[in-house]
Structure 1
């Protein structure tokens, strides 16, 4: 690994640390507020017991009012704790799949494939390439994510047209590799995402093949820095961009 790549990966770690520090602080705040709400409920329970003892009417009224106030405060604290912990969960999940985390700036060898056009057809298409990166395709595309069974090339090419990235893997890939590839399918940018599909046409000496519109990268072994760099560089660069509010998870056409 060269010095530039090491520096870039250190920068990513620092970015994640900063975001992680903020979300961790929120978690601590949420837990403290939750603890305060629990203390309030315990105190309210004690007040209720005292109210059941032989006290004068005025004292009982005062205790009842104090108990009600304590419960209201405890309910409010519990609600606040739930909101804060919820925000923590959202920030924590978002920080892990921030597309900037993939900007490793690794050296990658990418083939510029011929552009075979982008017409639409419901009929099966015979492609010039075993793993096509352009050409006539289905009018229907797919949702982002990990696929155990390979969808049709016609639909996959449509996804490429929308700027999606496709990671091809061997169907007998190890569970460890599957987990790493699945994690990469969580990344999105604007109206584009990442799909992972099995494909028997990957050469035996290649562990993964990554494609974008008219772009192909073959790797003899999984390399997160190279795949991350490819995704960061080519995601949402297809010839047809769909707004994110329409195409939140793919499969829109």
Structure 2
């Protein structure tokens, strides 16, 4: 619309924007609303993702790996099993080695054992039968002259002292004779009993005047210990029982004297069975 003024040129009316879109047609550029902050669009770029917080185009954060160190439990277990296996193999090898040694060598290896065979060869000649009471320099005796009758040694447990003269004859037959002080505690005596009772060529009896609580004798050998739990007792029995005999493994242990008392029974000499030859 144009307005004419008298005497002047025609003027176009001034258009004032109200901020409202026209009812029809495309709005003028000046009427476009400003871009919203945080809409993800940069000022002149179309569709460029924002890198700020909350943008859809944010790169994922890689997880931080935390080192937990080595697992020492399984390692320690493996080492322990290995050490145990080596120990078992070592003990087995030593046992095989020891078992292959002559019994005399095994006897020498027992700590504290006294080998009277090496000290006095005449002491262990054997076959030296004498009647009556015999004086022994070593007590309990381990050899020397003895009564013709032997003490029964089929795993016999005597609750009173027995005659040395009969006991020494049993040693000559390969017996291990275990003696103990009469005041040894009952539980210790019981442990000794279990090592002897019913086992051929062993016997047990109290003995007066021992300088150690327990003393073990075989033909020509002796071992003294302080208690029945000492592992050397089993070593002594295993090594010297039968082996120490100078009459062979067939020497008798039954049909001997079963009575207690320290006086030898000479009246039994002629009634003893004949020893088998080797």
Q: TM-score range by the shorter chain?
A: 0.5 to 0.7
Which whole-Å deviations, capped at 9, do the CAs of 1:128-173 have from their partners, x for residues lacking one? 2122111110000111211111111100100000000011101122
**Match of residue 129 from structure 2:** 120
Q: How does 1:136-175 map to 2 (within 5 A)?
A: 136-144=145-153, 145-175=156-186
Matches of 1:137 and 1:150, distance apart in 2? 16
**Match of residue 185 from structure 1:** 196
**Match of residue 133 from structure 1:** 142
Deviation, 1:107, is 4.5
Picking from 232, 238, 242, the partner of 2:245 is 238
Matches of 2:147 and 2:254, distance apart in 1? 18
**Match of residue 266 from structure 2:** none
Matches of 1:125 and 1:107, distance apart in 2? 30
* Gap runs ≥5 in structure 2: 1-86, 96-105, 257-271, 274-278
Q: How does 1:28-39 map to 2 (within 5 A)?
A: none
Matches of 2:230 and 2:144, distance apart in 1? 28
Change (3 A) 1:147 1:109: same
Matches of 2:114 and 2:231, distance apart in 1? 18
**Match of residue 200 from structure 1:** 208
TM-score, length basis structure 2: 0.48
Conserved? CA contact 2:110–2:236, under 8 Å: no
Name whichever structure is richer in helix by fraction: 1
TM-score, length basis structure 1: 0.52
Deviation, 1:225, is 2.0
Deviation, 1:212, is 0.4
SS at match of 1:136: coil
Cα RMSD (Å): 2.8
Deviation, 1:187, is 5.9
Corresponding pairs, count: 149
